[in-house]
Every structure is written in structure tokens, then in C-alpha cells.
Structure 1
Amino acid sequence: MKHPPYSPRRGRSQTVIGCALAFLPCILLGQTAPSSDVIQLDPFEISADTDAGYRPTQTNVLTRTNRELIDLPQSVDVVPAEFLEDTGARMMDEAFVYVANAQVRNSSAGTGPNSILIRGFTNGSSFTDGIDTGSYRRDMFGYERMEVVKGPASAVQGRGTDSGYINFVLKKPFVGRDFTNTSVQLSSGEHDKNGMRATIDHNFAVNADKGIYGRVAASWDNHDHYFDFAEFKTSALYPSLRWVVNEKTDIAVVGEFMDIEAPARAPGHGFAWIPAVYRKEIPVIGDASDPITALNLPSNFNIGGPQRGTDDTVMSLLGIVTHKFTDQIQFRQAISHFEDSKDGEWWDAESNFPTPHTSISDEFKNDPATQYDPNGVYIPVQQGYVHGSSNRLTLQGDLNVEYGSENLNFVTLVGYSYKDRTTYRKDTPGTIPVRYSFIDLKNPENAWVGRSIEPGSVRVSRATDDYYDEFGYYIQQDANLLNNRLLLSGGYRRDTGEGYQRNYLTNTDSAKTKSTVNSWRAAGTFKVNDHFSVYGIVSTQNNPTATTNVWSDLPAGDPRLQERISGTPSTELTEFGFKGYLFENRVTYTASYYDITTTGKFGNDRVDTTSQAPDTLGDPVLSALKKFVTDGDVGSGIELALFGKITEQWDLNVAFGTLKTSQPITGGTRPIRHSPEWNGSVFTRYDFTNANGKGFGVRGGISMIGPFMQQVGGALSRIEMDSSQWRMDLGVDYTINRNNSIDLLVKNVTNEPYIVTRTNPLRDIRLTYKYSF
């Protein structure tokens, strides 16, 4: 089955690139000689120099233009690189531990649009420097900061940002600075799970006289996963080049090249909960009399056994040109080319409950290879492969114009976005040979040894290419009144897209579908004084009609795998609150109330059913996933945050959120799954270093969540987790001199079995040596 080498729309893509590049001669023509001074290209440039400790001061993620956080009329959490390093956020899933109302859905994989839950809803997409690059595993070392937008960014980023989105800002060259930072880390977790990690970050002047600077960041990681038969192996490279052409023009090119080997799933660590330490936390299945719980299987138990996992590769190149025509008129053009691929295999449990021996076939019992035990505890297993790739070209341009007087100032931003993408996906569930269809939890190795999928038993359930291109334009109008005390902002965006799907199983192309969606927002901020402001926003995000399969996790050949449903997602946000500064503007605090309502999105539920596949007709299929279209899902609550420097030595980050959710179902409503009623965290750092920078630093944090509705495969669709959970991280570092330091971090100090949609690692100890020059 061949993946087509040529997209019929590639010619159009090249035409658009040509139009974008045509701006360059106009910008560069007649420019003066470059300057070696540090140049700030407002309103578009954000530098890591503005991140003071745990307190970032500016962002352009919400409005596409630089704003002080106190001026933003919506909740945005900015997590700078220093905080990511202090909390030990190696991979993307570890970066959300101290972010309020953001829960990681898949802690072992961390991929896909459903990986992060923001205010109870799945986020639609992830961005890199404001460019939609989709969701993929990320090594956090390559980023200067992570920005979490709560609620839709409807009038700026367009479709796919309905419940909020995450923006990752890549490391770029600093002007006028030379440094090299290196580190080597050794780690050791529970059950002898060990690892090693190395990083380097080198910033240098290529030709300072001509304003050319470079930066290369790289990381290498090889550590055992917290359950058996799984590793994380990461190699990542982030080269970048910056040319300060002159005081008006700046050009940056940034690359991201990454290869990650990791588990495809978390077998027995989510929806099917097998290890006793986690299982005991879940009502219904955690009682000591439960036959699986009574086995007391260890936290590192992997019911899937030895398996290949997945191999993810990412190749991305981003170019950004920023130009000042005048102090009041500025322009930015971005061009991004992104490619990724995934190839993986998984084995997992289908249920949380043992299969009665009377339901196990004679073929299985009589096969010598199974070593069937009449006293064994058997559960069914599932298996599959997945292969996918995507190719994305994105062009994005913004023109920012300021005009008016000191007491009545206006800012108009107009822009466009063009996206051309091809996505390939091939799913190949296997018809599991009878001898491997059950695992005896008393003797699981009997099912693992020699396990294979028999030739001819693998069936391709989906093999498709999705072609899609989209053009959008947007306008944002700001008015700064009363000597910049009253800030009013409105935005409108219109996106028009066209796409079709090529089905390799039927050798047919679907009819082209066209869609046009409009999104808008209106917001205001009133600055009572320079240290306190109140704000409010209403926003509507609309997305094109989408179609998806109703059923998954069914045996290959089941006719229900062909059933499809369609939904037209829409999200409405209402939010208001206040923001301010404390301790001579070293600390920022925010408080907000929010209400999000979504319709037309896809929800899903686990249902018990029987197979309709010819080979397994009538056999039980536990916990098949069935999708439905939501109609009025609601999430509301409050959020509080405080972050910054209490003193020059003391950094503090505090976050708290509540979340009340409701989802209509037949006969009433129910809470949305995996949405804690409350969550909170505190992380702090204190430096005891002397004037020369030598000495100790200590840090630590606690993260907590309240009750929520859990999904448990093979049981009731929703089970209440009525107890709160918490975990603690502690660290200490010692700076020997300006070049050398040692750091010790203990993650989850007290070995808490912290779970939301998946289990999380138990205690992990990390020792890091850092050398800078």
C-alpha cells in the first residue's frame, strides 16, 4: 500500500510561498548598516530576558502582539524555562504538574489532540511559536517557555483552539551574549528504573559586525519507563540562526529535529488498572477481596509484556521575518514546514475484571502453550499497530498599526494564515491467536513467551490520506482610552477550508468538502492603577463539521467499525476577573471566574458489547469505545494564581482552580470525566547563594487534586474518585563557582499513587551536574 509521493495541491503551496517571499526584497531594499546593539522589535518580539525567575512579564500568545500579562483580558499561564528545569519537566507531560485546571490525559505518550485536558475539555491543538504544528511528543529542553491559554483564542488562532491551546516557544539566539550550558543527569526510580540524560545549549556570535547570531540546543535521554518493558529514548536538536539586519529588520530561522522511542500505551495503567497500589485507589475494583487486587501486583507491572512501542520522528523548520516600517507600523511574516511520523505497536488489557473460566474457550484451555491453570486469574487482551505521518506547510502574516493620541490610542492588527496539510494514518489491529487472547495474571509470562501475530491474521481497519488546505484572515482592533486606563479589544476571524480523504482500502476518494467558519471575541480591561486591573471577555469559537468513526477497540472485521457520525463544534467562553502586582511589581497575581459551553464535539463512553466480526461472532468484547456528539457540555469555576519573586532570593508559584462540569446524557446529566472538582499547587525556591553566586538553593512543591469521575474499563462508565490526591517534589542544588553546580531532585517524594486518566510515576531521584562556560 503506497503513500502517494505527490500532493495535487503542491503547486498552489509553492505559489503562496512565492508571494510570501516577495515581501523580502521590499523589506530589505535600501536598508542601512547593521547595529550591534540589542534591539527590541516591538510589538512582536518576546525575549527570554523578560522572564525574571518564575515571573514572566510579557506574552504575545493571546493577541499576537506583545502585552503585559496584567493587560491581557483572559487567563494565560506562562511557564518559563527556569521553572521547567526546577520542576524536572523533561518531557511534555511533566510540564503541567503546577498548572491549574490542566490535566495530562496520557502520561506515557503525551501525544494527540486529547492529551491535555484544559478546564475539563480536550484541547484542540498545540502550537509552536504561534504556528499550528499539531500535537506530538516534546522534549521540553528545546523551549524557552510554554504558554497555556485557557479558553478559545477564537479571533487570533482560529479553528482547533476551542477549549484553549498550548504554545511552545522555541529557543532562539540572544544578541550580544556568548554562553555554553551543559548538563549530565543520572536518575533512579522505584524497581530499579534508571536513566541518563545529557543536554547542551550554546549561544554564539556568527558575525557580530553583521548582526548574525546562532544558537544550538540539543538533548539526549535514555531512561527506563516506570513500568516494565518500556523505555524513553530521545535525541533532539534545535539549531537556530538570527540576523539583525538593522534596527528595523530581524530574521530568525529555527529548526526542530527529534526522534523519540516510547511506549505506545500505558498497558494496565489506565482504564484497565492492574497494579495493586493504583487499583486500591479506585472504588469498585480496589477492594481487598477483588481477585486481581488480591494478587498485589507491583506498580511496575506491565500487562502488555514485551512490545515494540512507538518510534516518533519530527522534522520542522520555522522562519520569521519582522520589520518596522515606522515606529507605528510593523510587520511579521512566518513560514513553517513541519513533518512527523509515528510507527508503533501495543498490547493491553481489555477489562478490569477476570473472565469466568466458563467463558474461556476449550481451544485455549487445551493448547499446551497456554499452560492453562483452572485456578488462574484470566483477563482478555487486545493488540494493534498504528502508523501515521503528517506534512504541514503554514504561512502566517501580521501587520500592526498604531495611531491616535496619548489619551485616545488605537491599534489595528490585520493578518492572514494559510495551511496546507496531508495526514496519513494506517491502523492494523490483529486477530489475536487464541493462545494469546488471555493472560493469567498469576503467570503472565506464559502468554508473553513466543508471542506473535500469525501471518495473515492482521487486518487493516483504516488506511487513509486526509488532504486539507485552509485560508483565514483576521482583524483585531484595540482602543486605549483614558490615558491607557481603559483597554477595549475586539477581534474577528474567518477561515475557509477544503479537503478530501483518500481511502486505500476501497481505492476511492471522498467528495471534496468545503467549510467556512467565523469566530469572534470582545474584551475589556480597566486599569484602576498601575498595579491593579479588572477585565472581562466573551468569545465564540466555531469549527468546521467533522466526521469520525463511532466505534473503536472492536475486532477487525466488525461491521460497526464502518459507522460514522458528524458534529459541528462550537465553544462559548465568558470570563471575568482581576489582575495585579505586589512587592514592587515583582509578583503577579490573578483571580478569575470562567464559564465554557461546548456543543457539537465528540465525546465517548466505554460500553460492554459482543463481537459482530465473522471470526469471533458473539464473543464478548469488553470496554469498546463508542463516540457520541455532545450537546451543551459545560465547565465553570474559579482560578487563582500568584507567581514571581517575593524577594531577590525567594521565588514562588501558587495556582488553584475549581471545576464544575455537566454533560447531557439520556435521562439527565453527568459530570465530565477526568475533571477534578478542585486542584491546587505550590512550588517555591529559595537561594542562599552569596554575592559571587556560590552556595545552596532549595526548592519544593506540592500538587493536589480533588474528587472526579473516573472511567474504568469493563465496569460502570463513570465511577467517582471521592478522595483527594497529592504528591510532592523536593530539590537542592549547590553552585560551586560560576562554571560548576550540582543539583538533586526527588520527584514524588512520598511515593503517592497519583492517577487521573493514567497512572503517574512513583518516586524518582535525579542527580545532575551542570557545567557552563
Structure 2
Amino acid sequence: MNQKILYSLCLTGIVSTLIVQSASAEVVQTKSGVSQNITHRELRERLVNQAELLSQVPNSPTLVEVTAVKATPTDKGVELILQTTQGEELQITNRSADNNFIADIPNAQLRLPNSDGFIFRSEKPTEGITEITVTNLDANTIRVTVIGEGGLPTAELFDTDEGLIFGLTPVVTSAQTPQLPAEPETETQTEQPSTPDQPIELVVTGQQDRYSVPNATTATRTDTPLRDIPQSIQVVPRQVLEDQQAIRASEALRNVSGVQRGNTAGGGSQVFNIRGFQQFGGNLRDGFRDGFSVIETANLERIEVLKGPASVLYGNLDPGGVINFVTKQPLSEPFYAVGLQVGSFGLVRPTLDFSGPLNPEGTLLYRLNTAYEKGGNFRDFDQEIERFFISPVVTWKISDRTDLTFELDYLNNKHPFDRGVIAFGTGIANIPFDRILGEPDDFNEKTDFSAGYRLEHRFNDNWKIRNRFRFSSLDETSLITDFGRLNEETGELSREFVTVEADDKTYALQTDIVGNFSTGAVKHTLVFGVDQSWQASNLFGTFADAPSINIFNPVYRVETRPARVQFPDSFSRVSETNSLGFFLQDQVTLTENLKLLVGGRFDIINQSSPSDEQEDQAFTPRVGIVYQPIQPISLYTSFSRSFEPNSGTRVDGSLLEPVRGTQYEIGIRGEFFNSRLITNLAAYEIIKSNLGVTDPDNPDFSIPLGEQRSRGIELDVTGQILPGWNMIASYAYTDARVTKDDNLQPGNLIDGVPFNSASLWSTYEIQTGDLQGLGFGLGLFYVGERQGDLNNSFQVPSYVRTDASVFYRRDNWKVGINVNNLFNVDYVEATGQRRNRIDPGAPLTVRGTLSVEF
């Protein structure tokens, strides 16, 4: 590398490090003599439970050379030795997330004697640790990464004459809880200078960086760094949900580029629009298909959004992408948290989150999340939202190589059935957004139940098998006053009374084998899997004429609704779906900076009803490549396909081929400020073909000539700018339109998709002084003008919504107030593809929260 360029990079890194150090004044005592007060409770929570490290103040801005790295097994785990004669000058900064212990060492560089010189890797150095890597992150920073199997490894740091030593203890069955120092008599604990036999007790100052998540599982079914994935994937971590007080998944997903809320089916479902296409195939929960139910956020650890086709891993899905809701898992240390939210429109929402071991050996772990919610609806109904949720999880560590987890979820959700407001002319009817056009007693009640297990067995250090099963059941009851046509001259809206009884049962089984091996210098992570599911759906409904209503001067007539048994007409739908899929995927490391992802899947799907039966078969491939010219930058490109069954038939009775989606994507992913800030910029084109359209010569049949196309550019930024200053931001340009359709005008825009949308949410928490723990948040959410239906007969105006928050965190408790829609603007949240299904957004809303951990 040109010496001037190298000098500039080094100087930039040193200046950045000094800025970060000056912004974070809290340190612990090091060999340079600086000290910090720390309570015994803080030490226990941060060192033992989280293995977090505090920065040591460097004595010199010159680069420290690490000339050798060793990984040596010990009786507790493994010692990682970074050999240098200047160990006392090293600064340690924690970036740990999930099971990954990550420590950055600014003002340091690897200078190893081997041919690589700039990277050290040790695979499976001890039981419970998958891999250790030490590499140059940039021109003046070393990154240490330790991947744990069962949890986040704990760490102790030793400073010896040999260099800097990380004492790493993995989370395994045989691991014992580290012994803590005796409880001090006062709240102040002063460290003594370390010796080779005494660990330096280090903790993180301020708040750990919890906005940037380095790894995800949705894109590959393995825990893979985002920088190695050749497809756009965005993660909304738990901290964002807490900072925004999000109690609905849609509130959290507004932070992700290219994602818009879709039709809610009267408020009882959550369908999202990703990259221009509504996801009628449903969402995922921990990798299983989860239908369209309203997702409870109380037990969510994070939300992963994979952009573009995902059929290669999950079967029949729409091509825009898939949302995977990742749930909380049992912890090896006791954890107890209680929370309470109260807010506008009578909202009350208490929550519990308990976890820890069930036996002294730590081989049985549990987690229990529960939430109750009442109120919070701004629409003018006679009844409120009422929800109850509970989710127990138990993990049995059968042996060091075998884990078995049992999970159960129960959700009862009763809420007003609400079609929203209505279109008028080419826009939205000029009526108050809290006015209902059904009847005040309309309701929908759903009961979701699921239970299953996850079994994992590790044959050796490189091969393992995973088997998962889930049973899910959904029971639904609705009492509805549905909308018909609007007479715009008189304002009269025709209506009908409807009742619905439905149940849905699904059995799903997943089995896959994961292996790591090498062919010469090329490294592979191979995944072979088999998925099988069976689903039975039953729906029965009745309907009758209802009095019309004037949208400008409504008169409600609940008393005219007939008894359920008096409804003169009825409808029913019964169906079964059986699916079987096989997939094979290989993550290939050609060189340290060149990676290939290739995979394919074959699916067989049988659908049947009392009057019809059809079978679909499809092969879906994916191939992508990642090139990393320098450590923080990943350039990638990929090709992927999707499929979903097509329900239409030709005039000769033959079935239409499945609807296919094809995506081409290029992108660049960057990790800046020592990987605290993660950015992703992507450009894509998706073509959805084989859509069934009416046969012009035989109107009762279909031909596969429909086509839709979406093109766009997306930018996402997530992470920590400075200690205490977090941000998540996005921008999307989406051009989604009909390209072929005999029933629609070619060029029509797809409904609910704005050309431009953007979001920005940022929080800052004061790190030092008398106001330490006081924080503020600000959010801006912009959605451009959208078409209301595929005919483009009306438009939904653009809006900017402003949110704000103030919070205070001290020791183990936090209190906060969030104000959503600060300036009380009228806006439309989503459209339902029809003129009479438009969901208005909530007005100014205040939520307060109090949470305590102990």
C-alpha cells in the first residue's frame, strides 16, 4: 500500500480514537493510574453476565505491534495470548453481541511472521467455542472475535510480560459460575495493579453498543456475519423496540428501508409490503412459517428482514423478502425484569421477563415472558383492545454436545374489527380519522397457540444435526359490519352484516445437517435440509343485509343486527396443504476476502379442497459473491428466485405454473467507527411473472401472462456514533408497477408502495456527571404519496411523522416517556387494495414506561 495512504489511514484512526476517548470520560484504574468507582453489583452484572470490557487509557498514540497470537486450552476454557512488549498501552473496547465476544483494540496492528501476517484463526479451540479470530480491522485496529456455541463467553483480561491475555470461559454444561470477590463494605471498589496471576477486572463504561448486530441467521440458517452475506438483510435489535416502546411489529419495522405495512384484515393480521410486494406467504418466527397473526413483541430478541427471494431456504414465499421474528432464549444466569406501560386512550400494559437455571448444575434453563394489554385504541368503538400473552421456554443441556429446547406460546387477542376509512374521488374522504363506519360492537377475537421443540446434537467440532418441530393452532371469531359501495353524491355507504368462524392447524418439521470442512485452502460451511409441513384450514361464515350509513353524519344501528342463527346466507372454505422441500447450501470461503454463497431447493406442494386438487413442483436457486477489498467494506452481488403456487387453471383444465420471482441485486456494506456503525446500500430489480390473468377467449379460465416489476435503491444505517449516541436510519426509492396484465393498464403502480420513504431514529444518553443516565430520542418517519389500489383510482397523500422520547436510566431501573406523532398530523398507515379498506394512523399518542431488572 502507498505509504502516504497508510499514514493517512493511521492518522485518521488515531484521531477517531482520541475523539471517542474524550467523549467517554469514565475509565477504571489501569497501569497508568486512572481510576473509576464501581459497585459490586455493577461488577457482577457486567463482568460475569455480559463479559463486557472497559477501555484502558493508552499512554501513546503510536501503533503497538502484536508479533504473535496463541490459543491455549485451559481447565476453564482457553487462553488467547497477544504477544507484545507494549501490552500496557493497549485499549480494549467491547463490541459483543448475542453469542459473539468481540473486542476492538485501537492503536494496534498484527505483524505475524506467517505468510498471511494479518490474521489468526483457531477453529474449535475448546468445547463451547466455535472459532476464535484475531485480525486487523483497519489500519490501526485489531479485532478479537470469539464465537460461543451456547452463549456469550465470559472473559478476564491479564497483562503480563508476555503480552495481553484473554482468559475465555465458554458457556457449557460443565462450566461453573465464576467466583466473585467478597462484597465490599462501601460502594467504592479500588483496583490494585495487576500481576501475571491476577486478572484485571474490566467493565464497559456507559451503555454497550446495542443498535448494531453483527450476525444474523435468516439469510443462511447459520449464524453468519452480515458482512459475509451477499443479500440485503437488516436487523432491528431489542434495544430499538425498547427505546421506541414498540408494542406492535409494524412500529419497529418502520425503521427498515423498503418495508411498508399492508392490509390488516380489519386489524387482526400483520401483512407487510417489502420491496413493492405484499408478503401473502406470511412471516417467520424462529424460522417457522407464522401466518398473519399480530406478533407480540414481549418475547422478541430482534427482528431480521431478508430482502428479496428467500424460497431457497423457506419454500413458497413472495419475492419481496421475508421477516423473521427471533425470540428470547433462556439465560445461564438469573435474570428478572418487570415493566409497565401506560398511555393515551387508556393503554395499560404490564410485562414480565424471567430467566435463569432450574437446577444447581445449570443443565436446565428457563425463560418466561408474559404480557397483558388493555386499551390504546383511538378509534371510536364501544370496546377496547384486550390481549394476553405467555411464552415459557425450557432448555435441557443433555450433554456437552446435545441440547433440547421446548417452547410454547399462547396469545388471546380481542379487538374491534375495523376496516378504517374510505376513499372519496381520487383521495380520502374528509371525515375525522377516529370515526368508524361499521358498528361500535364489531369485534374480532383470535387465539393463537403453538408448541414445539428444538434438538441439536454436535457429532464433533465440525458437524452437527438440528431437528425442530412446531405445532400451531389458530381459532378465530368475528362479528363484522362490512363495507360495500359509496354513493359519493349522497355520502351513503352500503353495508352488510357478516359473522366468521375459522380455525387453522399446522404441523411443521425441519431437519438439517451443518458441516464445516476444507478442500485444500478453500473452506466450506455446508447445510443440507429437509422441511415438511401439513396445514388444514376451515372457514365458515354467514351474511345478511345491513342498513347503510352516511359517512358524514353516521347513525349506528346495532339493534338491527340479526341473531347469528337468523343470517340468511352462508359461505365456507375448507382446504389442506402438504409441502415437502429439500435444500442444499454451501458457504464457500475462497480466500479471506472472497466468499461465495450457492444453494438450491426443490419443493413439492399439494393443495386440496372438497372440489379441487392440485400439485406444484419448483426448483429455486440462489448464488451470490462477496468481495472485501479492505476489512470494513464488503461488495456483493447475487441472483435469487422464488415461487408460490398459482391457483388458476387453463381452459383445458391444466394447472398454471407457479408464480415466479427473480431478483438481481448489487450492494455495498460498510462497518465504520471500529464497526460501531453498519451501513448497507443496495440496488435491485425483481420481476414477478406467471401471474394468472383472465383468459380473454374464455373468461372463466386463466392464462399465465401477468407480470409485475419492482426496481429500487435502499440505504440502511444502524449503530453507535459515539458512546451513548445510537442511530437507526433508512431510505428507499421503490418503483413497483404492473408490466403485463390484460385486466389492468400496463404501467399502473402497485398499491401501497411510495416512490420515496425514509426514517431516522436517534437517541443520546449522557454518560458522565450528575445527569448520567438521562437520555433523549428523536424520530422522523417519511412516506411519500402512494396509490390506493391496483387500478390507481385514488391516491394516499405523503406524510412526515415526528416522534420524541425522554428517559432516565439508573442502576437497575429505567423510566421513560415517548410521544408519537408529536405534531398530531393526519396520515394513512396502510391501504387494503380496495377503496373501502384504508387504515388511518394514530394521532398524538403518549406512552410512559417503568422497568426494573433484578
Return the TM-score normalized by structure 2: 0.70
Q: What letter is aligned with 1:479?
A: V
Would the alpha carbon gap of residues 63 and 633 (structure 1) be closer, same or farther in structure 2, given more than 3 Å must change? same
Residue number in structure 2 paired with 1:591: 681
Residue number in structure 2 paired with 1:682: 760
Q: What letter is aligned with 1:538?
A: F
Q: What letter is aligned with 2:780?
A: I
Identity %: 21
Equivalent pair of 1:110/1:136 in contact (CA under 8 Å): no
Give the deviation of 1:264 after TM superposition.
2.7
CA deviation profile, 1:460-494 (whole Å, cap 9, x unmatched): 54323212222211101222112x21111111111
Residue number in structure 2 paired with 1:238: 391
How far apart are the structure 2 equivalents of 1:627 and 1:694?
A: 66
Residue number in structure 1 paired with 2:720: 645
* Residue aligned with 2:629, SS: strand
Would the alpha carbon gap of residues 629 and 694 (structure 1) be closer, same or farther in structure 2, given more than 3 Å must change? farther
Residue in structure 1 matching 2:589, options 480, 489, 501: 480
Equivalent pair of 1:597/1:633 in contact (CA under 8 Å): yes
Q: Find the structure with the greater CA-based Rg.
A: 2
* Residue aligned with 1:231, SS: coil
How far apart are the structure 2 equivalents of 1:628 and 1:111?
A: 33
How far apart are the structure 1 equivalents of 2:439 and 2:585?
A: 53
How far apart are the structure 2 equivalents of 1:411 and 1:752?
A: 50
Equivalent pair of 2:587/2:597 in contact (CA under 8 Å): yes
Q: What letter is aligned with 1:725?
A: Y
Give the deviation of 1:703 after TM superposition.
0.7
Give the deviation of 1:111 after TM superposition.
5.1
Q: Find out whether 1:54 has 2:211 as its counterpart.
A: yes
Residue number in structure 2 paired with 1:493: 601
1:521-560 equivalences under 5 Å are: 521-547=622-648
CA deviation profile, 1:276-334 (whole Å, cap 9, x unmatched): xxx7xxx7356xxxxx63xxx43211111212311111111131112221111122111
How far apart are the structure 1 equivalents of 2:770 and 2:288?
A: 41
How far apart are the structure 2 equivalents of 1:48 and 1:103?
A: 34
Residue in structure 1 matching 2:366, options 211, 214, 230: 214
Residue number in structure 2 paired with 1:746: 819
Give the deviation of 1:602 after TM superposition.
6.5
Aligned length: 642
Q: What letter is aligned with 2:263?
A: N
CA deviation profile, 1:498-551 (whole Å, cap 9, x unmatched): 2321xxxxxxx3354332221111111111122111011111112333259xxx
* Residue aligned with 1:227, SS: coil
1:239-388 equivalences under 5 Å are: 239-267=392-420, 269=421, 272-273=422-423, 284-285=426-427, 293=430, 297-354=431-488, 356=490, 377-388=491-502
CA deviation profile, 1:715-749 (whole Å, cap 9, x unmatched): x743344x5311011011112x3233211000111
* Residue aligned with 1:65, SS: coil
1:153-232 equivalences under 5 Å are: 153-175=310-332, 177-188=333-344, 193-229=345-381, 230-232=383-385
Give the deviation of 1:247 after TM superposition.
2.9
Equivalent pair of 2:469/2:509 in contact (CA under 8 Å): yes
How far apart are the structure 1 equivalents of 2:807 and 2:321?
A: 35
* Residue aligned with 1:546, SS: coil
Would the alpha carbon gap of residues 595 and 589 (structure 1) be closer, same or farther in structure 2, given more than 3 Å must change? same
Q: What letter is aligned with 1:726?
A: V
1:682-761 equivalences under 5 Å are: 682-690=760-768, 695-711=773-789, 717-721=792-796, 724-735=798-809, 737-755=810-828, 756-757=830-831, 758-761=839-842
CA deviation profile, 1:114-157 (whole Å, cap 9, x unmatched): x2111110112211111123221111112111111111112111
Q: Tell me, which stretches of 5 or more residues in structure 2 are unaligned?
A: 1-74, 79-98, 100-127, 132-146, 155-207, 695-700, 832-838
* The 10-residue stretch of structure 1 (322-331 or 246-255) with the greater mean CA deviation from structure 2: 246-255
* Residue aligned with 2:409, SS: strand
Equivalent pair of 1:251/1:321 in contact (CA under 8 Å): yes
Q: What letter is aligned with 1:80?
A: P
How far apart are the structure 2 equivalents of 1:627 and 1:187?
A: 51
Would the alpha carbon gap of residues 62 and 442 (structure 1) be closer, same or farther in structure 2, given more than 3 Å must change? closer
Give the deviation of 1:163 after TM superposition.
2.4
* Residue aligned with 2:252, SS: helix
How far apart are the structure 2 equivalents of 1:647 and 1:200?
A: 31
RMSD: 3.1
Give the deviation of 1:565 after TM superposition.
10
How far apart are the structure 2 equivalents of 1:68 and 1:442?
A: 55
Q: What letter is aligned with 2:351?
A: T
Q: What letter is aligned with 1:265?
A: D
Residue in structure 1 matching 2:544, options 405, 418, 431: 431
Give the deviation of 1:60 after TM superposition.
1.0
How far apart are the structure 2 equivalents of 1:462 and 1:45?
A: 52
Give the deviation of 1:414 after TM superposition.
0.6
How far apart are the structure 1 equivalents of 2:598 and 2:366?
A: 38
Q: What letter is aligned with 2:417?
A: A
Q: Tell me, which stretches of 5 or more residues in structure 1 are unaligned?
A: 1-33, 274-278, 287-291, 357-376, 502-508, 549-562, 605-625
How far apart are the structure 2 equivalents of 1:143 and 1:653?
A: 18
Which structure would you say has the larger RCO, counting Cα contacts within 8 Å and 6 or more residues apart? Answer: 1
Give the deviation of 1:762 after TM superposition.
1.1
How far apart are the structure 2 equivalents of 1:53 and 1:109?
A: 35
Residue number in structure 1 paired with 2:535: 421
Would the alpha carbon gap of residues 58 and 285 (structure 1) be closer, same or farther in structure 2, given more than 3 Å must change? closer
Would the alpha carbon gap of residues 720 and 439 (structure 1) be closer, same or farther in structure 2, given more than 3 Å must change? closer
How far apart are the structure 1 equivalents of 2:722 and 2:816?
A: 22
Residue number in structure 1 paired with 2:550: 440
Equivalent pair of 1:398/1:415 in contact (CA under 8 Å): yes
CA deviation profile, 1:420-477 (whole Å, cap 9, x unmatched): 111111232x221xxx4211345423x4251212676525543232122222111012
How far apart are the structure 2 equivalents of 1:478 and 1:733?
A: 43
Equivalent pair of 1:154/1:521 in contact (CA under 8 Å): no
* Residue aligned with 2:544, SS: coil
